[in-house]
Copies of this chain bind each other. A is one copy, B any other.
Amino acid sequence: MSRPRDVTNRQLRVGILGATGTVGQRFVQMLEHNPWFTVTALAASDRSQGKRYGDACNWRLPGEMPAAVRDLRVAAPQAPLDCDFVFSSLPADVARESEGAFAAAGYPVISNSSAYRMDRGVPLLIPEVNAEHVALLSGARGFIVTNPNCATIMLALALAPLAERFGIEAVVVTTMQALSGAGYPGVASLDITDNVVPYIAGEEQKIERETLKILGAAFAVSAQCHRVNVVDGHLAAVRVKLARPADPAEVAEAMASFSGPPQRLGLPTAPAKPIIVRSEPDRPQPRLDRDAGGGMSITVGRIARDAVLSHRFVVLGHNTIRGAAGAAILNAELLVAEGLLKA
């Protein structure tokens, strides 16, 4: 294994579009100590333009806002920005125009937004799963690379070793999703205290569509999505119909031993193990397992045979780390390692 650290003789300069939002704040937090990237520009589509980030941003993460970004001025999400490439967590409606314009202006756009995910020429990447999809990029200086929806990432990452080893014929997934997935202010407290909401707009369709694009497959996917009273960490109960017989222990082993390019390449944000398999009967749990692997590992438990499909399990991941900001950062690191992102 050749460590790619030396591909960057200096840090890449990063802009963040949507920097004041829930995911934007995660970008800022996760990039504070990233060895390859340094934040040099911040932009947002809201009223914060022109203000210092320290004044504009209602910082909602535990811990202090990193000192290095406090005095950056929040710009409009329009080129030019003083950076080598941009991360984006713009709202989908704004993202379509803004991200397209950045790409046209020659900026690589590493996006967490849903706007371009299903576009034919846009890779929808989970680096452990379908790193080869970067081949979709045309070679233009500006381009868009996306990561999946927060709930889709956990599901697709958990399914990837099963698709590879056993084949998949159908998937039934029921999600219990965290509040931070809806942004800020997002879900009203009166809607979720002592409650569950069995609806997240557009989410079921995203999961059903994006999973197939990532896995390059064509099986049936059924998703039912719920919002639960949890700060961070999406949980999903999954049934899967495998194409070949498999003992539950084999399923567990396929997941536990799974790894991909991020691990091989030693990408800075890559977790040692993308999938942690636990054997306790009551795990994974959001509060206890969401931060596994710095929030970049997903945790799977309760693997068993299923009476209707063929197997079942429960999967959990940190929705704003592995499911959003961390996903995009890992995508960017992959592109650096592959020589597609440079200063």
Contact = CB atoms under 8 A, between A and B. Distances in A.
Given A196-B285, A308-B221, A291 B230 contact: no
Given A188-B185, A198-B301, A228 B176 contact: yes
A29 to B, nearest CB: 13
Contacts of A170: 308
Contact of A235 (B22, B61, B196, B230): B196
Interface in A170-195: 170-172, 174, 176, 179-180, 184-195
Contact of A314 (B195, B198, B228): B198
A184 B176 contact: no
B229 A189 contact: yes
A174 B174 contact: yes
Given A179-B189, A194-B231, A222 B199 contact: no
Nearest to A61: B288
A198 B287 contact: no
Nearest to A282: B199
A192 B326 CA distance: 25
B195 A285 contact: yes
A230 B195 contact: yes
A220 interface: yes
B176 A226 contact: yes
Nearest to A193: B231
Contacts of A180: 190
B194 A191 contact: no
A255 to B, nearest CB: 16
Interface string A285-297: 1111111100000
Contacts of A63: 291-292
Interface in A191-215: 191-199, 201, 208
Given A224-B174, A224-B237, A308-B171, A190 B195 contact: no
A220 B60 CA distance: 36
Given A60-B288, A193-B179, A198-B237, A229 B229 contact: yes
A196 B193 CA distance: 14
Nearest to A188: B185
Nearest to A284: B198
Interface in A37-96: 60-63
Interface of A: 22, 60-63, 170-172, 174, 176, 179-180, 184-199, 201, 208, 220-222, 224, 226, 228-231, 235, 237, 239, 281-292, 301-302, 306-309, 312, 314
